[in-house]
Structure 1
């Protein structure tokens, strides 16, 4: 949500996509497959702000060669997802929020693309990945559809502090404060 607030033109694109697909009803899980730009925004956010900075540690069971490095047997390895997502050798304009990089892209967070692993990979991939991916998109689509969002006290989007606070989980250093305004009262019928 913070990245969308900082990029009003991207927020508008997502709002238009959600309104076109969903119309005047509540957002359903079945709508998610028809919201590729929303999915691209979520992927781009996970690239810049992964849930955790470091994946669970790994230990080399035997000495091996990885690229130009020798990894000795018993060495503990830490995978820095934060650095991987901001690597200028892999990503064009790595510090810029640009969801378009994931539109019509096969790159996904399922653990197969090692330059993009916000949920890990292999046997240690996050067990909650599929639930998190659906729930995040469902909540975000609902918030975008039913509310107009603005920053308080005339704050300009470029002034929004996007610094991260490193810990067990990655958080915004300064929590996001936004003002929601109901677009219109929509009475949803029970399913």
Structure 2
């Protein structure tokens, strides 16, 4: 009884504090000029409305609360949802520079620091003449996303591989051969040679397993740290640790390629 008497004031204070924060959030949301959306619950916001098929839940919520733009409170993070082609065009095409910065998933941590999907936009004008953002985007536009002889070569290899399997009456693992072709396209661009080949199912499967695992952990699995940033240091779901192990497997391959390139360069210099 004494313990209950001691704890009662603290529990009452906690309840009042949570209700005060909730009401303050509602008032702030109402006066913020944000688009309409469902009224958030204390602490969790509208997370309970997403379900296991968020794309369908978001479409249903947009019909209820107003398309083409809707505001959601996911945990402690405010999110805007564009639910029409015209509104998506406004964000992704006409005002892409203003909305280029994307929130970095907590699990990726330092691994995403230089990743193109999460690169911040260039600073306000005048920008530096050789900013990292501009240099990487230019490299992607000129080397990766334009018709190129290398791409034609890789597509030709893929077609020959599929034709040979068809002649032999063997099944085609579409996901595996498409992944291997994309992987070799990137590795040829970066390392000047293929990391695997279309007939090497073991090595291709290992890379596919790692990359699929990274995507699942980084963006495919809800992480409480992304909705409640104050809890991020605790890594309650262990996502950071699992992702670090997956990246370590990739780094072994990349480090070996870099070391090989350095040895080859040193040998060429000595020969010269």
Q: TM-score, normalising length from structure 1?
A: 0.24
- Higher relative contact order by CA 8 Å / sep ≥ 6: 1 or 2? 1
Q: Larger Rg: 1 or 2?
A: 2
Q: TM-score, normalising length from structure 2?
A: 0.19
More strand by share: 1
More helix by share: 2
